Copies of this chain bind each other. A is one copy, B any other.
Amino acid sequence: MDKMVYLFEEGNATMRDLLGGKGAGLAEMTRIGLPVPPGLTITTEVCRAYYRQAEKLPADLPALVRSALSVVEAKTGRRLGDKDKPLLLSVRSGAKFSMPGMMDTVLNLGINDDTLPGLAAMTGNRRFALDAYRRFLQMYADVVMGYSKHAFAALLEEKKRKAGVKLDQELSEAQLAEVVADYKQLYARLSDKPFPTDPFEQLMQAVEAVFRSWNTERAKVYRELHGISHDLGTAVNIQAMVFGNMGATSGSGVAFTRNPANGNKEVFGEYLVDAQGEDVVAGIRTPNPIAKLRQDMPGVYEQFIQVTERLEKHYQDMQDIEFTVEEGKLYILQTRNGKRTGQAAVKIAHDLAVEGIIAKEKALLLVEPAHLEQVMHRQVDESTPLQVIARGLPASPGAAVGRVVFSADEADRKHREGEKVILVRMETTPEDIHGIVAAEGILTSRGGMTSHAAVVARGMGKPCICGCEAVRIDYDARLFRAGELVVKAGDLLSLDGASGRVILGEVVMCDPELSPEYETLLRWADETARVKVRANADTPADAALARAFGATGIGLCRTEHMFMATDRLPYVQQMILAGTVAQREAALKHLLPMQEADFYGIFSAMEGLPVTIRLLDPPLHEFLPKEDEVLTSVLSLRLAGDQSRKLAEREALLAKIRELKEANPMLGHRGCRLGLTYPEIYEMQIKAIFLAVVRLLQEGKQVLPEIEVPLTVDKRELDACIARVHETARRVCADEGVQVDYLVGTMIELPRAALLADELAASADFFSFGTNDLTQTTFGFSRDDAEAKFLPHYLHQGLLAENPFAVLDRKGVGGLMKLAIAGGRSVKPGLLIGICGEHGGEPNSIAFCHEIGLDYVSCSPYRVPIARLAAAQAVLAGGAAGGGTK
């Protein structure tokens, strides 16, 4: 194996793979001369070796650690286990990708009965030494031995209760000494042997514990959630402890270089005087804003602000910094790119570029597609009355509505049952991760803006309100009180994460207002992207929304949605039930002006931009009631001896439903198959399109219609449909004396169409990939059936890496797309090709669409901004597999 142990001064920022994010950061900070306590890093490679060797540390590791440690000892002038000047160490995990709170840490390692007096003497603070010892005992028992920390905590609580005090700090030295003794006794009872006194042995045990914590269930869940490989392993950072809990001139804090909730340019953080860092993050004491540091120690504050600016410039991104002040001296313990909300991500990326710290391209890469999704989260509609019952910290923005639950398990269970829930906890811990995943939003009564709940919720883009002390939770009674009000488990509650308001009942939500920074950033994206973004829209309202979100056209207008409208359905059913072509045409005559009006509205909304209209696609039986219902009513009428007209009508309807029934409607009588067997339906639609186009042209407007034939498998089929379009267009245009330019193309949504694309391209003006159906047929997965029956099992068992209906399957479906593009463009080099399946709005899939040379992606209006960003990122990724956060 290569070098297993690095001193901080031996590494740098590029070594994340080997040293982990934290280790590389400490090395980099050391390299650029920041005040970092000295230390060393055991590489991730050692962790991988540990797992390869059946969870055994390499034999030569202790010697290497001991050797590096001697350098640290020399720098600090202290020695591990030394009676007079004992060195205390922190032992922390640090993987390549940050997994906040997921893995274990041991602090204050190096105290034992022997070193305690030395520590007390050295610091002049025996109380502090005892408290450090107590903390270490509890942490070691928990992390290294796996003993319940609650048993230890209970001893402390008992002591405080007996002493009649509330805070740890209020205990006397003697009382703390008793707690230490109690802890050691409890440890000995639990482990059947006394607490180990050799600090180096403790150190190696702690290292192994950190490696073990890589594979806990909660760490695995987190990695799966964030798409982090299980094979990376973690590094271990061993660092000289500095103490924030050495009195009034000491303290610990966590700060972001900019506001992680809204992106404002202000150092944003929290700080506790006389406390170790864990106290800030754990949410046990609600910390003070960073401004408090300015009051307490102006010089330290000034120095810290300079450090934050330097770090932000150095890393070209907003930083999340942990620091400690030990008796007036500032130490930087960690820096990393800070987690942020979508709103903040947009503002920070924009501002950093405008400030000249980063290039525009870098700014585009700083925003993740998921960030934009958050920005577009619907928000609380303020125009309706709201019953605000409490206010907490606005830890993560967005509005959430759900039913109150009080445990992560319950949140998870209800979520699986399809219920939306709000998780209400005093505080959250890494064990609650599955509950946070399951909840719509999180409310905690304790903890600050950097507490576990806040950090995790922001990372996931979930609304979160923290430190809402007005909420008094009673877990046993499964309720909370806010003033006089009692809210029980199962009650409906709304959160407004942007304002921190807790609202009783279900709020109305509305579209977000988008910031100028957002608009600028997406303009940059459009300048960078090659693939255009269109929208799927079936109504004038959707079309207008899509245009407002920056769509450059409509890539899919589904005419069947128009057929479903309540004023049309009766005519549609009349058309289906028609016994003759004449009856069918009579029904279609009613639909013609309605469809014309639809198209008129959509073309108007998209004036000057292309609009792809797909001819009717679904099987006719989708427009009739369900067989079950009709059968039930027929049987009921029959058994009731009904003789009326109604029974006969229902029977006729049932007969028609059965006539149209198909074994596999997905593969049945739909798409152009329908258009070719019932030509009068397509004829009506084509006529309606051209009547609308002609009207708009006569009004002096620009219209770019693209007519699309669905479900094609053969050139002859396509040609027959195209001939009908041309013929009908010719007739309408001749009647009106107007010249219309239009395109006629085809969906590529069945494997055969992809395989015979060269033939189809000879006839088609454009191709549009329908990757929903193409995925269904390529996999032989009926989406409805697969997602309900076996797909969850497949994903859980790792039989498939992704749900292919969410993320485009590059090998199978993508392989067919590549064949189709090559075939089509071999005949027509400039053939217009797009995608209109749901994948058109998914970043990883958009990156693929860019790579294979599509002209546009089309997605739902709300995903248009995300697609615009993803299209730009695909360019910046340089054609390699890109997009996403991995």
Contacts and interface: CB of A to CB of B under 8 A. Distances in A.
Nearest to A661: B785
A666 interface: yes
B779 A716 contact: no
A800 B712 CA distance: 12
A756 B811 contact: yes
Work out how many copies of this chain go into the complex. Answer: 2
A677 B788 CA distance: 13
Given A667-B776, A669-B789, A780-B711, A812 B717 contact: no
A668 B667 CA distance: 12
A782 B668 contact: yes
A639 interface: yes
A631 interface: yes
B667 A665 contact: no
Interface in A828-886: none
State the main secondary structure of chain A at its contact with B. Answer: helix
A799 B640 CA distance: 49
A790 B676 contact: yes
A714 interface: yes
Given A662-B789, A778-B777, A793-B677, A716 B755 contact: no
Contacts of A777: 667, 751, 777-778, 780
Contact of A673 (B627, B639, B662, B790): B790
Interface in A798-823: 798-800, 809, 811-813, 815-816
A112 to B, nearest CB: 51
Contact of A662 (B667, B714, B782): B782
Contact of A713 (B635, B662, B716, B780): B780
A797 B669 contact: no
Contacts of A809: 752
Given A752-B779, A797-B720, A816-B755, A666 B668 contact: no
A382 interface: no
Given A713-B812, A812-B713, A677 B782 contact: no
Contacts of A790: 669, 673, 676-677
Contacts of A815: 755-756
Chain A interface size, under 10 / 10 to 19 / 20 to 34 / 35 or more: 35 or more
A786 B668 contact: yes
A632 interface: yes
A727 to B, nearest CB: 16
Given A639-B636, A793-B676, A812-B713, A669 B785 contact: yes
A750 B777 CA distance: 8
A772 to B, nearest CB: 12
Contacts of A639: 635-636, 639-640
Contacts of A779: 713, 750, 752
A755 B797 CA distance: 23
A580 interface: no
A412 interface: no
A28 interface: no
A628 interface: yes
A813 B809 CA distance: 20
A571 interface: no
B713 A784 contact: no
A793 B672 CA distance: 13
Given A664-B784, A799-B676, A812 B778 contact: no
A59 interface: no
Contact of A635 (B635, B673, B780, B799): B635
A668 B787 CA distance: 10
Interface in A717-759: 717, 720, 749-752, 755-756, 759
A773 interface: yes
A799 B713 CA distance: 10
Nearest to A798: B716
Contacts of A750: 778-780
Query: Most chain-B Cβ atoms within 10 A of its Cβ — which of A663, A751, A784?
Result: A751
Contacts of A673: 789-790, 794
Contacts of A798: 716
A147 interface: no
Contact of A668 (B631, B785, B812): B785
A779 B794 CA distance: 26
Interface in A635-672: 635-636, 639-640, 662-669
Contacts of A623: none
A744 B640 CA distance: 58
A576 B100 CA distance: 46
Nearest to A628: B631
A663 B797 contact: no
B663 A784 contact: yes
Nearest to A671: B780
Contacts of A813: 752
Contact of A714 (B663, B720, B759, B800): B800
Contacts of A640: 639
A663 B666 contact: yes
A524 interface: no
A665 B663 contact: yes
Contact of A782 (B664, B755, B778): B664
A667 B669 contact: no
26 contacts: A631-B631, A631-B632, A632-B635, A663-B666, A664-B665, A664-B666, A664-B667, A664-B784, A666-B782, A667-B776, A667-B786, A669-B785, A669-B786, A676-B793, A676-B794, A676-B797, A677-B790, A716-B800, A717-B800, A749-B780, A751-B812, A751-B816, A755-B778, A755-B815, A759-B811, A777-B780
Interface of A: 627-628, 631-632, 635-636, 639-640, 662-669, 673, 676-677, 711, 713-714, 716-717, 720, 749-752, 755-756, 759, 773, 776-782, 784-786, 789-790, 793-794, 797-800, 809, 811-813, 815-816
Q: Which 3 A-B pairs have the closest CB atoms?
A: A664-B782, A667-B782, A752-B812
